[in-house]
Copies of this chain bind each other. A is one copy, B any other.
């Protein structure tokens, strides 16, 4: 996540981190204020829609950071396998480095709010869809047709999200290591 120097940017970066660690309902407005170090007045000035508006913008910010990470992983890789392994190892590193606090920045809020806030549900939907598209683009770069890459990207993102959920819950990276094996197997079988 880029370092923000302005008050609005600091608030959003703090909110994104809290949503990632605790989810939407577990994050209070005063936690965001305290973590972002901004005065309450500036928060209401920038986000008249309150917590929901901050949540929406923070999810968009976090979603965009992950999308860029996927794009960079594709650029730095020489094959589809290296590309996917790079993504899954990046997730495992984030999770272990944060003592299992920082898994997917979108999933918790997505599950909490899917039936409760159309604004937040839409922001989480958009984030996941952008990641799928970016994975698809990466797979096409390494020779998959659009027709193959489209369902494959959904399968990759499902495997990554599920493994991240299990690894976080177990406080153990094994599900992510196994996801790496699954993605390699799927790539091999997609070629045959």
Contact = CB atoms under 8 A, between A and B. Distances in A.
A168 B21 CA distance: 21
Number of this chain's copies in the assembly equals: 2
A157 B41 CA distance: 46
Given A154-B175, A158-B178, A170-B125, A112 B114 contact: no
Interface string A81-121: 00000000000000000001101000110111011100001
Contacts of A114: 100-101, 103, 168-169, 171
Nearest to A155: B182
Interface stretch (A8-16, A32-40, A50-58, A183-191): A183-191
Interface string A146-164: 0000010011011111110
By secondary structure, the A interface counts as helix
Nearest to A112: B23
Given A154-B174, A182-B186, A110 B23 contact: no
Contact of A165 (B121, B162, B169, B186): B162
